[in-house]
Structure formats: structure tokens, C-alpha cells
Structure 1
Amino acid sequence: MEPAVSISGIIPTQLSGSRGRPVLIAAAGLGTGAKALWTDAVAHLEDFQVIGIDLPGHGASPASTKPYTMAGLATAVAGLVEQLRAAGDIDPEQKIFFAGVSMAGQLALQLGLDHPQLFSGLAVICSGARIGDPQAWQERAATVSAAGTPTMVEGSARRWFAPGFIEQHPEAAARLLHSLQNADRFAYAHACGALAGFDVRGRLGAVTVPVIAIAGGADEVCPPPFAEAVAAGVQHGTAAVVASAAHQAPAEAPEETAALLRRFFLAA
């Protein structure tokens, strides 16, 4: 049995729009929060009701109490979407789309594998079918569990943003780095464990939901070939590159990232 996350462990945040529009679930990755990451992009997503979700122990979501897998996280997110639809918080007649960055991009792929009936389109942003080395994730989990998430701030500032972004956009960079500093250290470690166990490179062909894979041109964590591999591997895939971004495209290039999402999802 896949270790699961409780539905109550994923807290949705209304970012923009209202009921009666197509729904976009906008998710943030390891060390970030949906509001901090997506707040500039949602201004350009006026066609959608945008609902943000955070990983356990990040942003608005309570900390996880035990390790979990990506499949367990996907089950919780799917349950949350069904709950929102049943409660009338989102229009049951409207299409639902999911866009996730980094770890949440992998979550998009897991949702495509396990819960394809819920979504009309998926966006895998600054992500890939596998990220990094399992041992490195386990070592990071141990470090953060012992010393806290502030130990990750300096390295993340280098990896997350294209050169010059922090100097040119200090407020946006600070929002994301504060999200990292405030994340629960044990929940961060649990997320690292989920990343260590995630590799769907051999299963991409089973994803039938249309997918757009968006890479940052300056992303050293998940460079453009990662997006190209996802787009080529799924049944209905498109790849795109946001040249000015590194690993946090919705914050670094909000208008361009939103335009790619709008064009792809509204054509679905």
C-alpha cells in the first residue's frame, strides 16, 4: 500500500477568478508556496478560477507526520479536487487543469497516471520524469531534518533563479526564499523522500491526458531536455522553453508562462 497524505493535509487557496470558469489547480514545489510562486502569474490567467495548493508543511498546508510517496500525495490531491467539486466550490461542469512546478510537476505526471479522469490538461513546469539522484535526496532530507530549512536558502537562491533575477526582482525572490525558510523541516524531509522514490521515465507512455512541459532556459536543475523528454514520452505532449527563467518560471516570467498555459489549456 502506498503511504498516503490526508486530504486535510492539502489546503487549497483561492488565488484568482471565481466559480463558473475553467479551474486551474496551481501547485508549488519543494521549499516554495503556491501564493508566493504564482501570485504574479495569476494576473495573466483571468480566464480561470485559479486555486493554489501547497505541499505538506509548506505555505498554508499543515506538516506531514510521516513519510509519503508521490502516489500517496496524488491520491490526496485527487480527493481534494473531488471534494471541492462535490461542495460546489468549483463548478462541476467546468474542465479542471493542473499546473505544477518542480516536485509539483512530477505530481502532475502522477495525477496523469493515477487519476486521468479528473483533468483535461496538465502542465509540467521546470520538472521531469526523474529529478536528481535518490541518495542525494536522502542526504538532503537528513541534513534538513537535523539543521532546518534555512540551510537550503543559499543554495536554492543560486539554483532557483536566472542570473540577475534577485537583483532585478528582490520582492519576488524574497517571497520564495521566505517560503523555504518557513517550511517545516520534517515535512521538507518527507518531500525529499518522495522525490527520491519518483521515476516514471518508463511509464510516460501511459499518460493519456494532454501535457505541456515547460522548461526554463537557464534551469540547471531541470534543463530543457527534461521537458522535451516528457513531451515526447506522453501520448499527447508539447514542449516549450521560457528562455529568461531558471527553476521558478511562474515567478521569473509570469506573463510568458501564463500565456503558454492559457494557449494550451484553452485549446484542450
Structure 2
Amino acid sequence: MTVPELGLVEFTRPQDLPADAPLVVLGPALGTSVTHLYAPLVPLLSGRFHVVGWDLPGHGVSAPTQEFTVAELVASAGTPTQVVTCAKAWFAADFLAQHSELCTPLLHDLQGTDRFSYAAACRALADYDLREETGPAAVPSAVVTGTEDAMVGPDVARPLAQALRARCEIVDGAAHLVPLAAPELLERVLTDLVAAMR
């Protein structure tokens, strides 16, 4: 098994920031690029934080990975077939119509995602359940979800936050991609977490 190489996106440059600027690392959602997912949030963090992100294999700027067989994908026609399903899961009712400038690039990300890498990521996530092993976090933490998130909604977020002894934020009317729906809230949460570490 080879370890996939993840593409790094540097949203802000250290030389443009104060020497003590905290580092914020942003991760993607399956089928998206970190660049488009956090487009509304990054400007709110710029100037105060060194912001970097990473993309899953075959997503955004990361190279595809091939550590599985084609036979496992025989029933999959590729990521374009997932666009309608993901649009319904990622965005709350009417959000896509009202904010197409934010949503459309993410749906294009999904269409352009390497299908083999997408399938590999799905398989990796399918068995990755640490709920039974979750204990209090060693650093200030937060769990954020939307009321309309059918994948990781409030019923999952609240017990996770309790187990971590973390802050829990439930965004009314948001679906799975909270960074698009509530960038100002995420900016406040990140700022609070960093302040609690100092």
C-alpha cells in the first residue's frame, strides 16, 4: 500500500503575516476542493492567521491515487453521477439557488474529482468510526454542524461534542457544507479556539 500524496493549498503566506500568527489547517469534504469549500471563510481569517488547506487524493490539487482494483468500481459510473445526490446533501433547501456563485464551483469540483480516488476515499471512510474511542480532547475543540445535515447532523454532533468535552454549534438552516453557509460563525469559533490556546 502506498501513502497518497496530499496537495497543499497555502491561502496566506507567512511573510505577509505577523511572526506570531497562528496556523489554521483546513480540511476538505469528500468530493470538494478545499479552495472552493472555504472560499467565504478564508478572507475572514486572512491577516491574522497563517491559513493552509489540503485536498483528498484526486480532489482539487492532489494527485489521484490507485490503491484498489477496477473490479471494485464496476458498479460506479464516476463522480458526475453523484452531483444531484450531493447537491441535495451539501446544501439546504434554496441555498443552491440563492448562492449559486459559491455552490457551483463545488459541484464542478465533484464532477472533476478522480473517480478512483473518490471511491477509495469512500471505502476508507466507511470503516472509520472512532465514536467508541472518543474521549475528552487535549486541546480546545468544537463540533459544528447544520440542522439540515443528513450525514452528520445534530444527533451525531451533540454526542460527539459531549464525548470530546467540546463546544457544539448547530447552524440553523445549514446542511453538510457549513463553511459556505456560516463562514462568520466558523471565523468566531476558530478565533475563540486559538485564543483559548494562548
Instruction: Report if TM-score (shorter chain) is over 0.5.
Output: yes
Paired residues of 2:9 and 2:53 also in contact (CA < 8 A): yes
Residue in structure 2 matched with residue 104 of structure 1 by the alignment? none
Tell me how far apart the structure 2 counterparts of residues 185 and 265 of structure 1 sit (CA, whole Å). 36
Alpha-carbon RMSD: 1.8
Residue in structure 1 matched with residue 113 of structure 2 by the alignment? 183
Paired residues of 2:11 and 2:52 also in contact (CA < 8 A): yes
CA shift digits 1:44-75 (9 cap, x unpaired):
113211101000000000011215xxxxxxxx
Matches within 5 A, 1:119-134: none
Q: For 1:43, what is the secondary structure of its paired residue?
A: helix
User: Displacement, 1:214?
Assistant: 0.5
Q: For 2:11, what is the secondary structure of its paired residue?
A: strand
Once superposed, which parts of structure 1, at least 4 consecutive aligned residues long, lie more than 4 Å away?
Answer: none
User: Displacement, 1:33?
Assistant: 0.5
Tell me how far apart the structure 1 counterparts of residues 62 and 40 of structure 2 sit (CA, whole Å). 21
Between Structure 1 and Structure 2, how many residues are aligned?
189
Percent identity (aligned) = 35
Correspondence 1:156 to 2:86: yes
Q: For 1:228, what is the secondary structure of its paired residue?
A: helix
What letter corresponds to residue 34 of structure 1 in structure 2? V
Matches within 5 A, 1:5-154: 5-6=3-4, 9-16=5-12, 18-19=14-15, 20=19, 21-46=21-46, 47-67=48-68, 142=73, 146-154=76-84
Residue in structure 1 matched with residue 97 of structure 2 by the alignment? 167
Tell me how far apart the structure 2 counterparts of residues 226 and 266 of structure 1 sit (CA, whole Å). 26
Paired residues of 2:2 and 2:67 also in contact (CA < 8 A): no
TM-score between both structures, scaled by the size of structure 2: 0.88
Residue in structure 2 matched with residue 266 of structure 1 by the alignment? 195
Residue in structure 2 matched with residue 132 of structure 1 by the alignment? none
CA shift digits 1:182-213 (9 cap, x unpaired):
00000000001111111111110164333210
Tell me how far apart the structure 2 counterparts of residues 207 and 263 of structure 1 sit (CA, whole Å). 16
Any unmatched runs of 5+ in structure 2? none
Paired residues of 1:211 and 1:238 also in contact (CA < 8 A): yes
Residue in structure 1 matched with residue 176 of structure 2 by the alignment? 247
Structure (1 or 2) with the larger CA radius of gyration: 2
CA shift digits 1:148-199 (9 cap, x unpaired):
1000000011110011111111111101101100000000000011111111
